[in-house]
Amino acid sequence: MYNRCFLSGFCFVSLCASILTTGSIFAAEAPPLPSDPGVWINSPPLSVQQLKGKAVFLYFFEESSPRCNENWATLMQKSAALKDQPIIFIAVNSGNAASDLREYARDASCTWPMIADVDRNLEKAYDVNEINLTNDSQARYISSDGSMHLGDLIKFDDTIQEALKDAEWKLDPSNVPDTLRDAWMAIELGNYKASGALLRKSLNSPKKELQEAAKRLQEAVKTAATDDFEAAKKASEDEQHWRAYEICQRLSDHFTPADLPSDFAEFKKTLIKEPKVKTGTAARRTLDGIVKSLNAGKPLNKKFKAQLEKMVSDFEDSDLAHDAQAALDRPDEGTSTKSGRGFKTEVENE
């Protein structure tokens, strides 16, 4: 039974959803989620590729709307009831800095991953009409094949069931003890390193059930590391050395050394000597410098633009190219399109 406040809070959204034209973008490949850790709250960055196989519910909301603020308790309750279902809930707010939203998430008791869509690029990419006080929330969902669809907040349960079609966890959570739940979710989301400490502790537990569960999860981590390493070696054999190196970088970032095959370090050391990898690592350093400059509020000048465009062209379909394109797409002005921390006062004055 829906909470009355939850229903009334989404009345306007239902009207918007009913008149919104579902163009060709729907049921098409979902646009990428931001890769900048600085705009994510309650979570490291998540990617569409990383979440493939699972369902993703995206809730675009207006932080100064009393209705949105009232609805968080119901949303948390509903998502908690679905904790064993292969669906990830992500909240998206446009126009505010992550520092402001971090405080907002605490006040709202929101535990979902939250994205600070500072420049509204994600809002636009997902064809969401500008979120404001008169259009205070909209929903999209990503199905297991990575395609994007229009969600209906009034028919929340129906939208969730539609999103869950063909979705599945990599690891069945039904036999994962509550104490290992965080480690299991970290593994599901590909953040294997984050599961390490808890798994090691549980492997030494006097409780046999906990030990066995930890062994199963650890085996899944090692299998994932081996599979990715094999993909890196295959890319190297095909002379796609930069692709191989980026896979190795992800392995280094997401796994502990104990999880990796014994010949990983030597393989990566050999890759670094490849000309394409040397060029790519130099380009990555240049990109990091450009992003640092943009974060400091400096405009994207002609030199920076040319360097970024060359990265996109020279390293097509790579993480480097994607991040360079994201830098090219950033607006030249300010880091926030709203009045910063002022939004809390607006809420309190409602």
Determine the Cα–Cα distance for residues 40 and 119; give it in Å rounded to an integer. 14
- Looking at the structure, do residues 244 and 305 belong to the same domain, yes or no? no
Band (pLDDT 50/70/90 cuts) for residue 294 is confident
Check pLDDT > 80 for residue 338: no
- pLDDT tens digits for 92-145? 999 898 989 999 999 999 999 999 998 898 999 999 999 999 999 999 999 999
Taking the C-alpha atoms of residue 98 and residue 106, their distance in angstroms, rounded to an integer, is: 12
Residue 345 domain-assigned (yes or no): no
User: What does the pLDDT look like over 217-226, one tens digit per residue?
Assistant: 999 999 999 9
42: left (phi over 0), alpha (psi -120 to 50) or beta: left
Does the residue 348 lie in any domain? no
Give the predicted TM-score (pTM) of the model.
Answer: 0.74
Residue at 53 is within a domain: yes
Same domain for 250 and 140: no
CA–CA dist 115, 97 (Å, integer) = 10
Please report whether residue 136 resides in a domain: yes
Tell me what pLDDT residue 49 has.
85
In-domain check, residue 338: no
Q: Is the pLDDT of residue 312 over 80?
A: yes
Domain that holds residue 55: 4-163
Residues 22 and 110 in one domain: yes
Residues 178 and 314 in one domain: no
Q: Which pLDDT belongs to residue 332?
A: 59
- Residue 121 maps to a domain: yes
The per-residue pLDDT for range 260-291, each reduced to its tens digit, is 999 999 999 999 999 999 999 999 999 999 98
Residues 126 and 221 in one domain: no
Q: How many domains does the chain have?
A: 3
Predicted confidence band of residue 27 (pLDDT cuts 50, 70, 90): low
Q: Are residues 208 and 74 in the same domain?
A: no
The whole-angstrom separation of Cα 161 and Cα 188 is 20
Quick check: is 128 in a domain? Answer: yes
Which residues, 6+ apart, have CB-to-CB distance to 345 below 8 Å? none
Is residue 182 located within the same domain as residue 251?
Answer: yes
Find the CATH number of the domain harbouring 82. 3.40.30.10
Mean pLDDT of the chain: 86
